[in-house]
Every structure is written in C-alpha cells, then in structure tokens.
A and B are shown apart, each in its own frame.
Chain A
Amino acid sequence: MLDRTHDRTESDESLLARFVSGDDAAMGALAARYEAALIGVARGFLHDEPSARDAVQDTWVRVIRSAAGFDGRASVKTWLYTILLNRCRDIRRSELSRRRRERTVRPTRGSGDSVGVERRVHDAVEQLGEPGRETLVLCFHRGLTHAEAAAVLGVPIGTVKSRLHKAMSRLRAALGVAECETEAPA
C-alpha cells in the first residue's frame, strides 16, 4: 500500500503558505502527499476513475484559487477532502440529472457469473443513502480518522459513528455477512 501522506518533512500549512508566496514547487509537494489519496477517495465516491481524476483536478483548481483565503482554522488535509467531497457531490448530481434526461438506466452490476465480490460490495454501497455512503467511504479510507471524517462531513463524531453503524448493518444484511463486534478502523 502506498501511503504518501506520511512522507512529510514540512507541514501542509507551511507548504500552502509557500505556494501563496509564489513557490509552485510547494504545491507539487502538497500534491505528492495527497493527490493519490484524493483520487482513491473520489473513486470510492464515484466508482469511476476518470471521473475521480476530474474531481481531483477540479479540487486542485479550487485550492489554487482559494489558497490565499485559507487561514488555518481547519487543517489543510481536512480542507482538501472537504473540497473534494463537495466536488464529488456535484458530479454525482450532474450525472444523475444527465441520466434522467437521457432516460437511460445505467447498469449497476455486471452480467451473469462475472459478478464478483468487488461488484457486489459496490452495488450494496450504492444502495445506501448519500450520508451513509459518504461516511462509509471516508471512514474506511486509510488516510482519515473518524474525527477527520467528521470534520470533512461537518457533523459531530457521534453522528459519524451512528451513520457508520447503520450503514454497516445494511451492508451486512444485503451481502449476508454475519455481524462483527468492531465497526471500522479508526
């Protein structure tokens, strides 16, 4: 597993400040830490890598535009994930709207015996509501703690835990998995 976020010698805030002062390499260093993780999370939200890459590129555009307005009230990491989450929501909504206009139904699963475990999980996750789906993706993402996921979603950590519990129960029921004691990695 590639975990670029732990390879850091300078704080994210310092890198952002350097970028604001004109050092583009600082933004490169920041991207080296987070871009792969952001693409992974976006892929978890959108189930489509090209769309995930578009979302991450849009995220960088917004970060570059708003870098001067960042005042450190939240961490840079949480800020990046929040922007990405909002962008993914926009993409999902526009995709849903486009599908409605075209009156086509996108197949949510493969055909016949090619349906594997991965597809079944993805389908089950898609059946969850937006809050549950987002909570599940963020909480099982290896780069975020529950507290950071709560900050990204803008809800208390207790809400995150209850949403996670509910989502996991529905997933187990849908996939026929016996319930386990632990919910998700913190």
Chain B
Amino acid sequence: MNERRSEKMTEADLRRELEAMSDPVDAPAELWRAALAQVRAEPLRTRRFPGRRRVWRTSAVALATLAIGVILTTVLIESTSTVGIGRAPGASATEGDLRALGDQLDAMLGVEQGTESRLAGADIVVGAAAASAPWEAMLRSQVSRERLERTAGRSLAATASDELSDDSSSAGLADAAALTYAPAAERAPTEAMVPLAAGQPPARPAPALERSADIELRVAAVDEAIVRAESLVNPNAGEFVRLARIEGEGDRRRGAVTLRVSSDRFAAVLDAVRELGRSARFEATTTDLSALIERQEAELGLLLQTERELLDRLPRAEANAPVQVYRYGQDLTGTRQGIADAENTLRLLRDRVAFATIRVLVTVEPTPQQAEPGFLRLAGTALEDGMREARHVLLWLVRRVVGSAPVIALLALVSWLGWHLWRQRSVGGIG
C-alpha cells in the first residue's frame, strides 16, 4: 500500500474513480427479457401469489378458525352448565321428566344419595299453559327452588330462586306460576290437573324457622360481661342459660355463654348482647324446619288413624279368635310406640323453633402496643405487605391474562397481520 501511495492522487481523482465505479453501462436493456422468460417458464404452482391476496387468504382462514373455536367453546360451556332432558322445546313435561331433572340437580347440588326428597312426597301439577310454553326453563326454576330449599335453607333458596327467575324471565316464566306442588294429604285428587291462575302466588303457611347466632365480643371485663349476658334470659318465659364458662387470666381471660331465648325475643336479646362490648365477629343462621314438621305431623296423623282403626277392630276380634286379638294387641302396642316417638320428635322440632340459640364468646380487648416497633419489625411488615400485594397483583394478572386470552389471541392475530402487511408494503421487504 505504501509503495502505491507514491503515485500522486488528488481529491478529484478519487471522486472521479468513485463515480466511475458505479457508472451505468452502455448497453441495451435486455436482462429484463430473460427475467420475464424465466418467470413465465416457472410452473404455475411455484409462482408466488401477490402478497396482499395471500395475506387476505391467511386472515380469512385464521378468522374462520377463531370463530369456529369460539362457537365450539360456547356450545361446550352451555352443554355442561345446563341440564338437558332430551325433549323438544315446547313439549309438555311429565312427572318422570321432572324427577329426572331433579336427580340431575341433586347431583349438581351435591345432595347425598338416599336423602328423602321433598319432591318425592309431592304431586306435580303441570298447568295446561305449560304445554305450549318453554317448559324446561320452568322446570329448572321450580325444581331448583325445591332442592335449594331442602339443602341450603329457605333464605338461600329465595335468593337463588330470584336469580333463576331473573335469568329466565324471558323464557315463559310468566307461566311458571301454573307449575306448583302440594302435599298429597292436603289436596283433593281432582285438583291435581287444575292449574293455578297466572300471577297467583301459591299459598304457603308461615315457615317454622330455627334461629341461631354466634357473636364474639371484645370487652374490658370478661366476668362482668358474662354475668350481664346471663341476666338477659327470662326464666319465666322458659328461657335458660345452656352453658357458661370463664377461663384464663389477664389478657388471656375469656368466657363463653350460650343462651336459649324465645324466638320472639331473639332480635332484642341479640341487640342487647352486642351492646356488651365491641363485636369482633357475628354470624346468624336461620334454618327452615317447616318440611320436617309437616312430615312429622303427617306421620303422627297416620299413626293416630291406625290406632283408631285398631281400637275399632279390637272389640269385634275379641268375639272371634284370641289369636287375632293378640295380633291386634301387638299392632296397637307398636303403633302407640310410634305415636310416642313421633310426638317426641315433633316436640323437639317445635322446641327448636320456639327457642333461639345465641352463643357468645367474650375475650379481653387487647391493649394497644405503646412501644415503637423496631426497624426490623417495620421492614418485615413492609416486606410482608409487599409480598402480599405482589401476590395479589400476580393473581390479578394471571386472572386477567387467562380471562382475556381470546382477546389477546385476536389482538396478536391482528398485530401479526398488520406487521405482515407492513412488511409486504415496505421497500426492503421484497427481494
């Protein structure tokens, strides 16, 4: 290189050489003809389709695939979340259909096998209007209500039933009032096929409710609070203290008392208890015992009827055969034993309804920490808070990502298509 530098080169020489390096050649244009012939000679299937057409074709296929996936997913979700009976819409329901639907709902609600169903002792009344209405929605609503009442209590059933009614309000539920049930003993057989008038609510007796409440109080003096809680019961009305216990010392002193008060005074006593201290926890439960009481009453009535019949037959049998007298005597003894058991059960149930239970747990109100927390404690608390928040954010993100996966997929598809189009249109993308 150094020896070549001995030749003198000026800036003008350099520029001239650089320009000459890429000077156009002086020759007729002919290469394009060879290129055209080469492209024309290619088999048709190896030729590229124009970019834009290929992009549209790809997007059409992708969108169709996405649409099919969404439709299939929707159908799958619908088929697993609803109860199908396999009958054409508009057909009239039979009791067998209703029972099959009930069994499926039992399975969905987790009702144990062998549990006596309230539905089993009821007659189904399917109104004439139901024959032309979308009866599946009506059955689903009514039977769900029954099962929910049986498993989770009347209040829950009312809420759930309202939701069900709202969900299917447009599906002929105006006719749902025509579908009802009633215990067989309370209704004449001829009423079975008579539908109730639309809008008329089915008659129901006042529910027999068992009430109970759990409350946890923070107080300054545990003993005093327990004594005051015990004083809330009224022995003259049959109310009593079932349990009273105090244990521990100092800040660990705690007491518990269980009150049985008249159901009429349940709310008043509960308010009084809550005034004894700061309520740290409160939970109230209401259970509907109407069905159990009705069933027990029906069983008792049946036993009393049997007893009367036996007593009627006994004098006539005494004149005929001692063996028959002995048999009637044994039946009578068994029946009276059943009557006694049924009356006991009935009494216990009514007692559960007549008296409510209030369980009170009393603990000492903790005194606030006066000392300033140390640096390590503050750091630990901050770290704990941070980790908790991070976990919440992570969970939120995961839920968001999973929940919006279809949207993300769609956006990804659109982005990809946009990028593809841009690349096709950009100057450097070809060649």
Chain A residues within 8 Å of B, Cβ to Cβ: 1-4, 24, 27-28, 30-32, 35-37, 39-41, 43-44, 49, 53, 56-66, 68-69, 71, 73-74, 78-79, 82-84, 86-87, 115, 117-118, 120-122, 125, 136-138, 140-143, 151-152, 154, 171-172, 174-180, 184-185
Contact = CB atoms under 8 A, between A and B. Distances in A.
B38 A140 contact: no
Given A140-B22, A143-B24, A86 B428 contact: yes
Interface in B42-57: 47-48, 50-52
Interface residues of B, number: 43
Contact of A177 (B14, B24, B29, B36): B14
24 contacts: A24-B36, A27-B36, A30-B32, A40-B24, A44-B22, A59-B35, A73-B426, A74-B426, A83-B430, A86-B428, A120-B7, A120-B9, A137-B21, A137-B22, A140-B21, A142-B22, A152-B427, A172-B11, A172-B14, A174-B1, A176-B5, A177-B13, A177-B14, A180-B11
B424 interface: yes
Contact of A73 (B33, B34, B47, B427): B427
A59 B36 CA distance: 11
4 closest cross-chain pairs (CB), A and B: A83-B431, A44-B22, A60-B35, A31-B32
Given A61-B39, A171-B14, A175-B9, A122 B21 contact: yes
B34 to A, nearest CB: 6
B18 to A, nearest CB: 4
A64 B39 contact: yes
Contacts, number: 159
A66 B4 contact: no
B25 A31 contact: no
Given A60-B35, A64-B36, A37 B21 contact: no
- Please classify the interface of chain A as helix (H, G, I), strand (E, B), loop, or mixed, using the class held by over half of its residues: helix
A36 B23 CA distance: 8
Contacts of A184: 15, 18
A154 B427 contact: yes
A61 to B, nearest CB: 4
A179 B15 CA distance: 12
B31 interface: yes
B331 interface: no
A74 B34 CA distance: 26
A177 B10 contact: yes
B19 interface: yes
A141 B22 contact: yes
A65 B39 contact: yes
Interface in B254-285: none
B19 A140 contact: yes
Given A36-B24, A37-B24, A184-B15, 14 more contacts: A28-B32, A28-B33, A40-B22, A59-B35, A60-B35, A68-B50, A69-B50, A82-B428, A121-B21, A137-B21, A142-B22, A177-B9, A177-B10, A184-B18
A61 B14 contact: no
Contacts of B47: 65
Contacts of A175: 5, 9, 14
Contacts of B27: 36, 39
Contacts of B376: none
Nearest to A80: B431
B26 interface: yes
Contacts of A32: 29
B95 interface: no
Contacts of B224: none
A98 to B, nearest CB: 21
B431 A35 contact: no
B252 interface: no
B419 to A, nearest CB: 15
A136 B31 contact: no
A28 to B, nearest CB: 7
Contacts of A43: 21-22, 25
A41 to B, nearest CB: 5
B295 interface: no
Nearest to B31: A57
B20 interface: yes
Nearest to B10: A177
Contacts of B242: none
Contact of A59 (B22, B30, B50, B431): B431
Contacts of A69: 50-52, 424, 430
B431 A62 contact: yes
A76 B39 CA distance: 20
Interface in B175-212: none
A121 B48 CA distance: 41
Nearest to B51: A69
B21 A36 contact: no
